[in-house]
Structure 1
Amino acid sequence: MRFTRTTALAAAGLLSFGLLAACSDDADPDASPTGAQSAGGDEKVTIRVAGLLPTADDAAKQQLAERVEAFEAEYPDITVEPEDYEWLNSTFTTQLAGGTLPNVFEIPLTDGKTLIENGQLADIDAQVRALPYGEDFNETLLANGQDDAGTIFAVPAKSIYAVALHYNRNLFEQAGLDPDDPPTTWDEVRAAAKTIHDETGVAGYATMALDASGGWQLAAGANSRGGVIETSDGSGAYTATLTDPAVKEHLEWLHALRWEDDSLLARADLGWGEINAAFAGGELAMYTSGSDVYNALVEGNGVTADWGYGLTAIPTSGDGGALTGGTLAAVRKDSTDAEKDAAVKWIDWWYLSKLQDQDQAVADAKTRAEADPAQAVGTPVLPIFSEELYDQNLEWIKDYVNVPLDDMTGYTDVMFTQNLVPEASVATQDLYNQLFPVVQAVISDEGADIDSLLETANTAGQAAIDAAS
């Protein structure tokens, strides 16, 4: 998942962010501009850090290189070695166990608690709390990277996303549809998908079906219809609910697109990266993914501001809402104290200070906008801190915003008011891994027995929950 993708964040908690702390008048004059303390005095240290997706283009690499150069100028005793990084459920466990992860790496929000309980992340509590905004994270969000005692082992590193509907405005126009009036219900999505296919020959809709990504987006579809894939009794006992009627309803909807309308892209091999590439290549008109995926489309798939990209809210009905998620930055368990100090400085520099500090925000936006080709600046996301600070950040970087915000209003008009649904709290990836074969079956087998497949998946999902609890 883009990280893509993942948080146990309650909807009511998302917007209750703390205010930006004022700088202390008696601050250490020798401290860095961001307030981070020295990494082991004059000790020189080298850290490996998660960099870009393997598919990132030269402009994205240039932007990262420039930020690394500026960081090393600010902290001459620290050498930063970025490396390509993409969190994949199928390889992460092996990398973690084998000690091959970089000092700074990214994980889905929902994986934080399990990794902390297993003693697999470094304690970075002191370093994070020393930052000027160390006490200003949303408490509910930060809890995903804390143990029961409140010790910080990972921090929110990328803004929280909500699953949204991405669409090709050019294909809408070619099919005689109004791209400024995108679908707001699943019935309207189905109708638009069929029209697009009938008029252009291009698949009107596609869904992820490969690995955990397929289960992630099936869960998002179920959440939008008022269902969930896991429940809790409030006392620590969790129950798999992969047989929730909303899960079946969304599968039947996909089945209808595939076998009745012939408007669903007939590929069961689409993960997060694959569906991005297919969308950018014009193979499909609509799909759901994290609301911030435009950055990846620009940096990895060559999409430009005049490409014809559109973003709107995921259709919801009843008590349904948009599945939320995001990313934590963590530090490798065997990192030395000097490496941990340096790692948190990098986390501050690369991920967070640009959200808090005008100079950092402008420097980051300027570098991205002036890259060749230009990188996305201003993609709408839900902020880690406050809505007010988010708006302030956009004001700081307004001269460099280059994303087609006018074509994203279907999402931005509701991003702070839509109902938000947290991901499953226990065995999240295991549940997704049980669901994706069901999605694949619906795409590839017209006679797939959805009820039986979901019963089997639910039994395995419950076993995974029991093993993790």
Structure 2
Amino acid sequence: MSRPWSPAVPRRTFALLAAAGLVLGTTACGGGGDPGSSAGGKVTITVTGQPPTSQPFERGVFDADVKEFEAAHPNIKIEPHEGFMDPKTFGAKLAGGQLEDVYYVYFTDPAQIIARHQAADITEAARKVPHVNDLKPELLDNFRGPDGKLYGLPTMNYTMGLLYSRPLFRKAGLDPDKPPRTWDEVRAAAKKISALGNGIVGYADYSKNNQGGWHLTGWLASMGGSVARKDGGKWVADFDNEKGRAALNLLHDLRWTDDSMGSKQLLEAQDVQRMMGAGQLGMYMAAPDNVPVLVKQFNGKYEDYGIAGMPDGKGTLLGGEGYMINPKASPEKIKAGLEWIQWKYLNPDRFEKHIKQYVDGKQPVGLPAEPTPDVWQGAVRDQQLALKAKYANVPAQNYQSYVDSTSRIKGSVEPPNAQQVYAILDSVMQAVLTDRNANIDQQLSTASAKVTSVLAQVK
């Protein structure tokens, strides 16, 4: 499915994603279909995920990792390809023998890929991969098929939270070290922040380009609900209910009763980020990757932002990315591909070195999801958090509420055919945020029928 702006992949900038889709669609590879080994006994594998030259730090780290990996694994040669995943070209590349041996996926894609037999079964091979059992089980489950077999590995994870302006909290008489824990507290804080005047908005939300539907899914998750559920083996819509009404009624009250969301609506990510970067916004729903975007693209300061767990704490929307392996790959290529994925992305032995790369490159260390991924549990997660605290160069304490919440709030993955679902739900968000008298029951009923129809296409 197409992600022109890709909410599901938080650590990629929108520009990068657009470029990635173009690069991935035109890359010539020759990998995947051949059986595999080059002269001298080396196994050559093609891999996606190389950042573009427009991101020199990230590109430099990736290329250096390739050289280091090849030096440590003289029997494996890595042939990196720029870009990530363009769902529009994926099937054609696979059929034409041009899909890379190791390819990147969003969390919304594995179920469909597995159903279409477009990924290799790595169940047995993965048993020998170090630290697989230290990964969060719910993330691994996203790469399991109905047969219980494993078809990929997660390499990055995010959950939604509440991003807020610490300076505006202080100006409004709120404690920035005690962010809202419920939606009622968000509403109360938004009223106080909006009361500061001068065009300041207490709370903002997205409502177009599929982003409104994505955020409405986050609202439902926080209240213990969901957009979709399985009923007798089939997916159906699951929001035309009390939880759906509660979410939309609260949005309505924030917008119309309290006037805490401002008059300008039909916003998307860049609009809201621009408001926050300019010091004109108190809060919005976001993943931690938004913080460096605010700093690097919208003139913000790391010390000005905090992140809390999702209000109400009954759930949160979970997203991320991972890697799968071409179903045509030979056993040798599967083994080599798993060695690359583990060494590059899932390697606690390289935590400290990777963090130091960020420190030396004057990149932020101490944010919840960077520079090492939040995919771990138990002792490995403790090791990771200790190292990030040791080398932190941003105020990590500002994000502690979010970090604490991720260990206790259950995350739910995005629905199948997510972008089509989000497009339908955009209209619901737009109606509530632009029409004081919008019929919420009618909006939910109409959208539910459309979403169920879209979900019926899921195999």
Structure-2 separation of matches of 1:361 and 1:450: 48
Deviation at 1:106, TM superposition (A): 3.4
- 2:319 equivalent to 1:330: no
Structure-2 separation of matches of 1:49 and 1:299: 26
For the 8 Å contact 2:235–2:458, the answer to whether it is kept is: no
- 2:405 equivalent to 1:414: yes
Q: Secondary structure at the match of 1:286?
A: strand
Q: Which residue of structure 2 aligns with residue 93 of structure 1?
A: 87
- 2:449 equivalent to 1:450: no
Deviation at 1:330, TM superposition (A): 2.2
Q: Which residue of structure 1 aligns with residue 360 of structure 2?
A: 370
For the 8 Å contact 2:206–2:215, the answer to whether it is kept is: yes
Deviation at 1:144, TM superposition (A): 1.9
Q: Secondary structure at the match of 2:80?
A: strand
Q: Which residue of structure 2 aligns with residue 158 of structure 1?
A: 156
Residue type matched to 2:363 in 1? A
Residue by residue over 1:284-303, the C-alpha shift from the partner in whole angstroms, topping out at 9 and shown as x without a partner, is 22111235544655676665
Structure-2 separation of matches of 1:174 and 1:82: 48
Q: Which residue of structure 2 aligns with residue 205 of structure 1?
A: 203
For the 8 Å contact 1:47–1:339, the answer to whether it is kept is: no
Residue type matched to 2:408 in 1? T
Q: Which residue of structure 1 aligns with residue 17 of structure 2?
A: none
Alignment of 1:353-432 (within 5 A): 353=347, 356-357=348-349, 360-371=350-361, 373-379=362-368, 383-418=374-409, 420-423=410-413, 426-432=416-422
TM-score normalized with structure 2 length: 0.78
Residue type matched to 1:4 in 2? V
Q: Which residue of structure 2 aligns with residue 121 of structure 1?
A: 119
Q: Secondary structure at the match of 1:326?
A: strand
For residues 445 and 50 of structure 1, do their structure 2 counterparts lie closer, same or farther at Cα, with a shift above 3 Å needed? Answer: farther
For residues 219 and 81 of structure 1, do their structure 2 counterparts lie closer, same or farther at Cα, with a shift above 3 Å needed? Answer: same
Q: Which residue of structure 2 aligns with residue 32 of structure 1?
A: none
- 2:192 equivalent to 1:195: yes
Q: Which residue of structure 2 aligns with residue 145 of structure 1?
A: 143
Q: Secondary structure at the match of 1:145?
A: coil
Deviation at 1:406, TM superposition (A): 1.4
Q: Which residue of structure 1 aligns with residue 178 of structure 2?
A: 181
Q: Which residue of structure 1 aligns with residue 268 of structure 2?
A: 270
Structure-2 separation of matches of 1:390 and 1:351: 14
For the 8 Å contact 2:43–2:336, the answer to whether it is kept is: no
Q: Which residue of structure 1 aligns with residue 107 of structure 2?
A: 109
Structure 1: runs of 5+ lacking an equivalent: 6-37
TM-score normalized with structure 1 length: 0.77
Structure-2 separation of matches of 1:311 and 1:396: 20
Structure-2 separation of matches of 1:269 and 1:102: 37
Q: Which residue of structure 2 aligns with residue 248 of structure 1?
A: 245
For the 8 Å contact 1:164–1:288, the answer to whether it is kept is: yes
Structure-2 separation of matches of 1:144 and 1:228: 17
Deviation at 1:58, TM superposition (A): 4.2
Q: Which residue of structure 1 aligns with residue 307 of structure 2?
A: 311
Residue type matched to 1:352 in 2? L
Structure-2 separation of matches of 1:60 and 1:281: 27
For the 8 Å contact 1:299–1:375, the answer to whether it is kept is: no
Q: Secondary structure at the match of 1:399?
A: helix
For residues 106 and 202 of structure 1, do their structure 2 counterparts lie closer, same or farther at Cα, with a shift above 3 Å needed? Answer: farther
For residues 378 and 185 of structure 1, do their structure 2 counterparts lie closer, same or farther at Cα, with a shift above 3 Å needed? Answer: closer
For the 8 Å contact 1:197–1:203, the answer to whether it is kept is: yes
Structure-2 separation of matches of 1:126 and 1:275: 46
Deviation at 1:185, TM superposition (A): 2.2
Deviation at 1:164, TM superposition (A): 1.0
For the 8 Å contact 1:305–1:402, the answer to whether it is kept is: no
For the 8 Å contact 1:219–1:247, the answer to whether it is kept is: no
Q: Which residue of structure 1 aligns with residue 42 of structure 2?
A: 43
- Which protein, 1 or 2, shows the higher relative CO under an 8 Å CA cutoff with sep ≥ 6? 1
Residue type matched to 2:214 in 1? W
Structure-2 separation of matches of 1:269 and 1:101: 36
Structure-2 separation of matches of 1:198 and 1:138: 42
For residues 447 and 57 of structure 1, do their structure 2 counterparts lie closer, same or farther at Cα, with a shift above 3 Å needed? Answer: farther
Deviation at 1:238, TM superposition (A): 3.8
For the 8 Å contact 2:45–2:102, the answer to whether it is kept is: no
Structure-1 separation of matches of 2:53 and 2:310: 27
Deviation at 1:264, TM superposition (A): 1.6
Structure-2 separation of matches of 1:312 and 1:425: 24
For residues 329 and 211 of structure 1, do their structure 2 counterparts lie closer, same or farther at Cα, with a shift above 3 Å needed? Answer: farther
Q: Which residue of structure 2 aligns with residue 15 of structure 1?
A: none
For the 8 Å contact 1:55–1:300, the answer to whether it is kept is: no
Structure-1 separation of matches of 2:49 and 2:37: 19
- 2:3 equivalent to 1:3: no
Q: Which moved more, 1:338-347 or 1:145-154?
A: 338-347
Structure-1 separation of matches of 2:340 and 2:271: 30
Q: Secondary structure at the match of 1:413?
A: helix
Residue by residue over 1:24-68, the C-alpha shift from the partner in whole angstroms, topping out at 9 and shown as x without a partner, is xxxxxxxxxxxxxx977733636242245x797544444434334
Structure-2 separation of matches of 1:249 and 1:55: 46
Q: Which residue of structure 1 aligns with residue 338 of structure 2?
A: 344
Structure-2 separation of matches of 1:304 and 1:338: 48
For the 8 Å contact 2:45–2:337, the answer to whether it is kept is: no
For the 8 Å contact 1:112–1:328, the answer to whether it is kept is: no
Structure-2 separation of matches of 1:329 and 1:103: 10
For residues 277 and 390 of structure 1, do their structure 2 counterparts lie closer, same or farther at Cα, with a shift above 3 Å needed? Answer: farther
Structure-1 separation of matches of 2:351 and 2:317: 28
Residue by residue over 1:321-373, the C-alpha shift from the partner in whole angstroms, topping out at 9 and shown as x without a partner, is 333333232235566666555543332233211xx22xx111100001111x4
For the 8 Å contact 1:2–1:293, the answer to whether it is kept is: no
